[in-house]
Amino acid sequence: MKTENQKAWFFVLPVLLLVAFNAIIPMMTVVNYSVQETFGDNLFFWEGLTWFEQLLNSERFYNALGRQFLFTFLILIIEVPLGIAIALAMPRKGFWVPVCLVLMSLPMLIPWNVVGAMWNIFALPDIGLLGYTLNHVLGINYDMTQDPIAAWFTIITMDVWHWTSLVVLLSYAGLVSIPEAYYQAAKIDGASNWSVFRFIQLPKMKNVLTIAILLRFMDSFNIYTEPFVLTGGGPGNSTTLLSIDLVKIALGQFDLGPAAAMSLIYFAITLLVSWLFYTLMNREDLNTEGER
Amino acid sequence: MQKRSIVPIVYILFLMLPIYWLIAMSFKTTNEILAGFSLFPQTFTIEAYVTIFTDPTWYWGYINSIIYVSLNTVISVCVALPAAYAFSRYRFLGDKQLFFWLLTNRMAPAAVFALPFFQLYSAVGLFDTHLAVALAHCLFNIPLAVWILEGFMGGVPKELDETAYVDGYSFPHFFVKIFLPTIKAGVGVTAFFCFMFSWVELLLAKTLTAVAAKPIAATMTKTASSAGYELGLLAAAGTLTIVPGAIVIYFVRNYIAKGFAMGRV
């Protein structure tokens, strides 16, 4: 049981100041831009909610948002089951455990623009390993700079390569926390593999899986560097996710007002979905505590 | 048992392929890379690595990156420790709201903040310093550090604190001498995660620097555009960016999974 103590605020103060400096001031700048028009030279004119109205009526915004949701949806339905399957198949103890864990973590430790660049080269049709194999060994016509399907295939594969290990590691952490006695009891009851998974392993992994899904959602919904370096949003606009479109508007066209309005809506959507996950997660915590 | 281990082996092979390709390319000459497909380097060369280790514009990129990443790790862990202790031990006005607000900062798309960050750090005169990048990365690393540390601290029974006070320890004495050693695995893992996320993030790092504190990624982009397309050199530079992560992960290998679970297993 936690004790009530208002002095605890002093412990939190340094964190609060540092994060607020980085979060609130830039956020206010964005809010400020979102209601004004600028023609450069630091001249700003009041525009009210024009940008928001324009944005919510623009097809371009909905297309980019749709692509962002599609991307997040695809990587979640691939990475989560795949991650669980790999975690289930991993050895539980012995020499190979740390080896597996270290090797699996490697992709996550590579700077994001390097990830994009290495996949770009990896996928080049004539000189990259992936592109060469697909085109010349398997005979599939594959060129991600020409074909939107190939481009989507590449960014999805890249993200699966980059982040599935996160789901694996989390599920694995949940799995090893299950006492051996549970499995023995299941064996005595003659439980099938499926019921062991459904009634012992899955419930034990629920908490860590919620964290995994929350983290994967937040990061994939905000993803920018990797797909930008890999495809540049092309061919055409086929892989222009919301984040890529945003930077195009803000830094490419220097339309600060519309870009700021877009940022705020973007942030609000992320916040809303994450809040849903977070509440769900805390409610699960409460339930398990009640059972104890 | 044997049949089952096929799955992780195939998965690890899939993970290693692009990394192998990058390393193989770093030992090829640019001409060989562009000439056509070859699985192994035909004319093995370490020229790219020699260039990186002898040319100051290259190796300073690495040094700059390491300076701001280390600085950020130290700041994040130091301020997150007391805060995580407060969240794990006490109830106070607005604690739940504050905790969620901290987490929301991990959700802010960095792309959104690039320009305001540039203006903010120019205004306070920190533009193009290591400190600027270290402070900016606190935006997402401090919430993460608080989250992980709180998870680890929650696993330490409260009786430990109470016994120490009964024995006459003052709070700072207790915290440094007894509490920190108990959760040292958690501190290690937190430091690793701060290091990792600061190391891989480059959008803000690039926005906030020009010359003096330029990270390795910026050096890479510049070379890609100015010196034509020196693929061999870029591949070598890319390979070297994997090394620091591979070194630090070795030290926390037994705690990575627990760390990713935010200490909540």
Q: How confident is the model at residue B258 (pLDDT cuts 50, 70, 90)?
A: low
pLDDT digits 0-9 by tens, A66-110: 999 999 999 999 999 999 999 998 888 778 888 888 888 889 889
Question: Domain containing B162 — which CATH number?
Answer: 1.10.3720.10
* Mean pLDDT within A120-148: 83
Q: Has residue A136 been placed in a domain?
A: yes
**pLDDT > 70? residue B142:** yes
Q: Which residues 141-170 of chain B have a CB within 8 Å of chain A?
A: 142-143, 146
pLDDT at residue number B229: 66
Distance from CA of B111 to the nearest CA of A (A): 6
Q: What is the predicted ipTM?
A: 0.85
Q: Has residue B108 been placed in a domain?
A: yes
Q: State the sign of the Cα–Cα–Cα–Cα dihedral A163, A166, A167, A172.
A: positive
Q: Has residue A40 been placed in a domain?
A: no
pLDDT digits 0-9 by tens, B234-245: 888 889 988 888
In this complex, which of B196, B199, B250 lies closest to A102 when CB atoms are compared?
A: B250
**Is residue A151 within 8 Å of A238, Cβ to Cβ?**
yes
In this complex, which of B18, B102, B112 lies closest to A266 when CB atoms are compared?
A: B112
Q: Has residue B44 been placed in a domain?
A: no
Q: Has residue B18 been placed in a domain?
A: no
pLDDT digits 0-9 by tens, B176-212: 888 988 888 888 888 988 998 899 888 888 888 887 7
At A7, which helix (H) or strand (E)? none
Q: Which residues in chain A are closer than 8 Å to B107, comparing Cβ atoms?
A: 218, 222, 267, 270-271, 274
Decide if B15 touches A, using CB distance below 8 A.
yes
Phi, psi dihedral angles at A116 (to 5 degrees):
-60, -45
Q: How confident is the model at residue A152 (pLDDT cuts 50, 70, 90)?
A: very high
Q: Tokens 């996160």 correspond to what residue?
A: A166
Q: Which residues in chain B are closer than 8 Å to A19, comparing Cβ atoms?
A: 102, 105, 138-139, 142-143
Question: Number of folded domains in chain B?
Answer: 1
- Report the percentage of chain B scoring pLDDT > 90: 15
Q: Has residue B25 been placed in a domain?
A: no
Decide if B214 touches A, using CB distance below 8 A.
no
Question: Number of folded domains in chain A?
Answer: 1
CA distances from residue B19 to A115, A127, A137, B50, B241 in whole angstroms, order as listed: 10, 15, 21, 20, 12
Decide if B238 touches A, using CB distance below 8 A.
yes
DSSP A2: P
Give CA–CA dist B33/B7, Å, rounded.
Answer: 32
**pLDDT > 70? residue B2:** no
Q: Has residue A39 been placed in a domain?
A: no
pLDDT at residue number A39: 66
Range of the domain at A183: 65-241+266-291
Site from A112, A118, A134 to mutate, B interface, most B CB atoms within 10 angstroms: A118
Q: State the sign of the Cα–Cα–Cα–Cα dihedral A88, A91, A96, A101.
A: positive
Residues B22, A118: C-beta atoms closer than 8 Å? yes
Q: Which residue of B has its CA nearest to A125?
A: B37
pLDDT digits 0-9 by tens, A154-200: 999 999 999 999 899 888 888 887 888 888 888 888 888 888 888 88
Residue A70's nearest CA partner among A212, A270, A242 is A242
Number of helices (H) and strands (E) in chain B: give both, helices first. Answer: 15, 1
pLDDT digits 0-9 by tens, B36-90: 777 787 778 888 888 888 888 888 888 999 999 999 999 999 999 999 999 988 8
Q: Which residues 107-126 of chain B have a CB within 8 Å of chain A?
A: 107-117, 119-120
Q: Which residue of B has its CA nearest to A88?
A: B4
**Is residue A91 within 8 Å of A100, Cβ to Cβ?**
yes
Q: Has residue A132 been placed in a domain?
A: yes
In this complex, which of B98, B238, B257 lies closest to A117 when CB atoms are compared?
A: B238
pLDDT at residue number B67: 93
* Mean pLDDT within B122-131: 88
At B144, which helix (H) or strand (E)? helix B130-154
In this complex, which of B22, B34, B104 lies closest to A271 when CB atoms are compared?
A: B104
pLDDT digits 0-9 by tens, B96-122: 888 888 888 877 767 667 778 888 888
**pLDDT > 70? residue A1:** no
Q: Which residue of A has its CA nearest to B14?
A: A161
**Is residue A242 within 8 Å of A68, Cβ to Cβ?**
yes
Question: Domain containing A128 — which CATH number?
Answer: 1.10.3720.10
Instruction: State the greatest distance between any 2 C-alpha atoms of chain B, in Å, as a whole number.
Output: 75
**pLDDT > 90? residue B14:** yes
**Is residue A72 within 8 Å of A285, Cβ to Cβ?**
no
Q: Has residue A38 been placed in a domain?
A: no
**Is residue A235 within 8 Å of A148, Cβ to Cβ?**
yes
Distance from CA of B167 to the nearest CA of A (A): 20
**pLDDT > 70? residue A40:** no
Q: At what angle do helices A112-122 and B6-26 cross, to 10 degrees?
A: 90
Range of the domain at B68: 57-225+242-260
Q: Which residues in chain A are closer than 8 Å to B139, comparing Cβ atoms?
A: 19, 22-23
Q: Has residue B34 been placed in a domain?
A: no
Cβ-Cβ contacts under 8 Å between A and B: the total is 266
pLDDT digits 0-9 by tens, A250-266: 777 777 778 888 888 88
Give CA–CA dist A218/B209, Å, rounded.
Answer: 26
The bridge status of strand A44-46 relative to strand A36-38 is antiparallel
**pLDDT > 50? residue A291:** no
Q: Has residue B236 been placed in a domain?
A: no
Name the pTM for this structure: 0.86
The β-bridge partners of A38 are A44
Q: Cis ω on the peptide bond leading into residue A179 (within 30° of 0)?
A: no
Site from B107, B142, B174 to mutate, A interface, most A CB atoms within 10 angstroms: B107
